[in-house]
Amino acid sequence: MNRRQLLKTGVLAGGMYAFPGAMAFGGNIPEKGVVENVGHIKVRLGELEIFLFSDGHITLKNPQPVFAPGVDPEEVRKELKRVFLKEDRLEGAINVMVIKTGERLILIDTGSGYHFGETGGRLLHNLKNTGIAPRDVTDVFITHAHVDHIGGIVDNEGKTVYPDAKYYIAQKEYDFWTSEKPDFSKSKNPENPGESVKLAKQVFRAIKNKLIKFDYGETLFSCITPELAEGHTPGHTVFTVFSGDKNIKHIVDTVHTPLLVARPEWGTQWDVDFIQGVKARKLILEDNYRKGTLVMTTHLPWPGLGYIGKNGNDYQWVPFPYFTPNEIIL
């Protein structure tokens, strides 16, 4: 996401779209009959402890042209209504996964940091309120270098937020953002990508001595298998987190909204390669629909867990059904 574009579309409009509800929570078990408003939920996946945290949310004043660029606005309005989304704005969660395995505490991306104003940057607060200090994080896995994924690595004073962590990114993604002139010619985004490139290079410089590049297909931390999902960015990384015969497929920014689940061909200006983004989206949706895979997403409604279903010939987002507010056991 381009920060300047987000300012124009209303994501960073402080005050107009206030953060929905207090995300703070205590570490104690609430009294019987009391459900606290929390910014995390725990998931037990085999031997792994997984935590899903909220970093906040984003709001676009108008779904177009960021989504469905060039599509008839009336057709978009009808589709938004059909999938029970607001017609006058588009909202997205910022869901962040943390994996605890042995002595490791693995953070999957870092949220938006200080870049999204009042509606974002809640991750660090929510981590601390569950007893997780920044120095407890041993590893940060970077799926791609957009601001809402790497914005929380460095604070507004240029200091690394997770000082004891090692950082991991796909070689292909790193090479794109650190190249002399990254190629955005296949995107439908009219905004200058200069700010995004500048941020990525600044972040990578700050962590250069702790940054490890990986290749797709290799197993990391004995529980993560990364895969290339090129299109959103050239090295956009999705992955499977597994323990024994249980797994979750994290498709990251393959889809940002249920609208793109239903209409993957409509695409988004946030994809560096628009056509490849559509291809990857269709392939991933079909694969996960066919396999009945439990899917995690960064931007679909909190907490981002669900399945890819179908309504006739159209894909649809099916939220994972869970019945206790604090913990999911798979």
Same domain, 74 and 165: yes
**DSSP sequence for 100-136:** EETTEEEEE----TTTTGGGS--HHHHHHTTT--GGG
pLDDT in tens, 27-85: 344 444 444 546 899 999 999 999 999 999 999 999 999 999 999 999 999 999 999 99
**pLDDT for the residue 326:** 87
Cβ 200 vs Cβ 234: under 8 Å: no
Co-location of 289 and 185 in the same domain:
yes
Euclidean distance between CA atoms 71 and 196, whole angstroms: 26
Distance (Å, rounded) from C-alpha 236 to C-alpha 220? 17
> 101 and 4 in one domain?
no
Does the pLDDT value for residue 274 go beyond 90? yes
Helices (H), the chain: 3-9, 73-82, 123-128, 147-150, 171-178, 194-206, 258-262, 274-291
Q: What is the model's pLDDT at position 20?
A: 30
Give how far Cα 170 sits from Cα of 46, 138, 234, 268, Å: 26, 18, 10, 23
Q: What is the CA radius of gyration of the chain?
A: 19
Q: Do 108 and 14 reside in the same domain of the chain?
A: no
Same domain, 4 and 133: no
pTM for the full predicted model: 0.89
Number of structural domains (the chain) is: 2
Residues 4, 79 share a domain: no
Q: Encode pLDDT of 192-236 as tens digits.
A: 999 999 999 999 999 999 999 999 999 999 999 999 999 999 999
Contact yes or no for 148/120 (Cβ under 8 A): yes
Using pLDDT thresholds of 50, 70 and 90, give the confidence band for residue 307. very high
125: amino acid identity, one letter: H
Please, which residues bridge with residue 160 across strands? 154
- Express as a percent the part of the chain with pLDDT over 70: 88
Q: Do 21 and 70 belong together in one domain?
A: no
State the Cα–Cα distance between residues 118 and 114, nearest whole angstrom: 9
Q: Domain span at residue 97? A: 39-329
pLDDT score recorded for residue 38: 65
**Residues 91, 96, 298: CA angle, nearest 5 degrees:** 45
Q: Pairing between strand 295-296 and 246-250?
A: parallel
Residues 239 and 118 in one domain: yes
Pair (265, 196) in one structural domain: yes
CATH code, 275 = 3.60.15.10
Tokens of 44: 């037990």
Q: Are 246 and 294 in contact (CB under 8 A)?
A: no
Q: Report which DSSP code applies to 143.
A: S
Q: For 141-177, give one letter per residue: b (16+ CB within 10 A) or e.
A: bbbbbbbbbbbbbbeeeeebbbeebbbbbbebbbebb
The Cα–Cα gap between 93 and 104 comes to 26
Identify the pLDDT of residue 264.
98
Whether residues 24 and 153 fall in one domain? no
Hey, which residues does 248 pair with through a beta bridge?
Answer: 241
User: Are residues 58 and 8 both part of a single domain?
Assistant: no
* Residues 22 and 77 both lie in one domain: no
Write the DSSP string, 152-179: TSB-TTS-BSSTT-EEEEEHHHHHHHHS
